[in-house]
Amino acid sequence: MHPSQPKVAYPWSDRWSQMALASDIGPNHPVLIALSGGADSVFLLHLLAKAEPRPRVLAMHIEHGLRGSESQDDSAFCARLCARLSIPFARAIIELDGDGPNLEARARKARYQALAKEARAAGIGIILTGHHEDDALETLLMRMMRGSDLAGLSGPKARFTLAGTPAVEVIRPLVTLRREEVRQILRREGIAWREDSSNESERFTRNRVRNNLLPKIADAPGGMDGLRAFARAVEGLEEELAERTVHLCWKPFSPSTHALQGGTLARKDLASLPGPLQRRALWRLIQEGTGKPAGKTVLALLADDLAQARNIRRSLPGNWTLQLGATELMLLPPGSGGEEPFQSPDSGSRLAVPGTLDLADGSRLVAERVRVPAGAGFSTDPNVVELDARGLPSTLEVRLPRAGDRFHPLGAPGGRELTRFLADAGVRREDRGRLPVVFAGEELVWVAGVRPCQGRRVQPDSIERIRLTLHPAQ
């Protein structure tokens, strides 16, 4: 794209530093730029390449391969551009089913996963994308057409965090610019870019909004300025309402429950909110707790449950469960019924004696052989147990409870089903599947943090003992 307009000097050298400061990042901070080859990412790449001083920059192109040779040409264009600007270049090829549902969403998710992986490998904590103001307006209109609640109406955030270790921030420094402003700058500077032919496809909602709806709005009284003012008003109201619910968050389960994920929330904190704020807070809490948003139907059911003071379980996306109790809400992860075993990074679910086993929730089991005088006392800490070492194997098994497990607890006249013991011991139903249990062969010798078994109790003449200590997650 090289129209014949006269070239106008553009302040390349200091423009990036201005944008970086406006985006609350240091001008010299290392960044990875998502380079599609389109006008917006090409403009952003030139800003970084011509910045003085230039920060450490890595450009990455994601090739989905959905447009055949055109996709390959885009990739080659990006590689040549980075070579000309002396910017390191990375490329990833991601294959997607072009005929499957939600192609845009699947491509976006795969793209961010690949970008985050490359950024972490390079020791970079910031990803830059070329989204601009028109992208935000398109998103606003699309969400209005889907009937989004207020929390969903605000446009794409100027920055957000991709979860992982370490976390990576995505920043959109061009959100204040218009699409045509970017293209005018590139034309005047004689800088080429690639046009994606799929941007004309009526298959995608965004293209229909961009090519059909936005031009009509631009021609209407008030036009784009009115739409932008509305977007800013929505964003301002959303921020104001967010302040009223930002204090609501999941409280981790107590260490003694050994829950891997999820948490609790006081029911009164939600029940006291007006309906719209309640649904807004529930949407955020479920998104934060499970990583998946809840649909309108689920949110409406939960709001009605709160209004009617019901105690009930509701299924959430990803096989999560929300338990509404009389005084608290409990977010329960998949497999919380006890089917999944605890796993150790090194030794699976086997605990050597002596030895250490790291559990998946961050807690740790330590096994020791100790010699004590006959008749010596022992700890009353529920997280520490001593067993008579005679007849115990050198390796124990640690897992979560399973259907059919039986247990003969210390002090009881006989054995019974483990589930019945846990209920009688006052362990909440929601926590019964999360307690690690320790086996010696087929014998359950300790329900961690609750009680040891009768058959392995310390005898008056016990000299050698097996001491098991559960160290809760920090």
Domain residue spans of the chain: 12-236, 255-332, 350-471
pTM of the model: 0.45
Q: What is the pLDDT at residue 247?
A: 74
What percent of the chain stands above pLDDT 70? 72
- Beta-ladder partners of 324: 312, 329
Q: What is the pLDDT at residue 78?
A: 95
- The answer to whether 250 and 288 are in contact (CB under 8 A) is yes
CA separation for the pair 25, 128 (Å, rounded): 11
Of 25-29, 37-41, 237-241, 458-462, the range with the lowest mean pLDDT is 237-241
Given a cut of 90, is residue 128 above it in pLDDT?
Answer: yes
- Beta-ladder partners of 170: 127, 160
CATH topology of domain 255-332: 3.30.465
Given a cut of 80, is residue 304 above it in pLDDT?
Answer: yes
Given a cut of 70, is residue 341 above it in pLDDT?
Answer: no
Identify whether 30 is preceded by a cis peptide bond (ω within 30 of 0): no
DSSP symbol at 251: B
Given a cut of 90, is residue 427 above it in pLDDT?
Answer: no
What percent of the chain stands above pLDDT 90? 25
Q: For the structural domain made of 12-236, what CATH number should be given?
A: 3.40.50.620
Q: What is the pLDDT at residue 185?
A: 84
Higher pLDDT, 422 or 7: 422
Given a cut of 50, is residue 258 above it in pLDDT?
Answer: no
CATH 1.10.20.60 fits 350-471, yes or no: no
> For the segment 166-199, what is each residue's pLDDT rounded down to a tens digit?
889 999 888 766 666 788 888 888 999 988 655 5
* 222 backbone dihedrals φ, ψ, rounded to 5°: 85, -40
Given a cut of 90, is residue 432 above it in pLDDT?
Answer: no
| 3-state class (DSSP) for residue 247 | coil
CA separation for the pair 122, 30 (Å, rounded): 10
- The answer to whether 36 and 130 are in contact (CB under 8 A) is yes
**Distance separating the N- and C-terminal Cα atoms of the chain:** 58
Instruction: Give the distance from CA 9 to its chain's centroid.
Output: 43
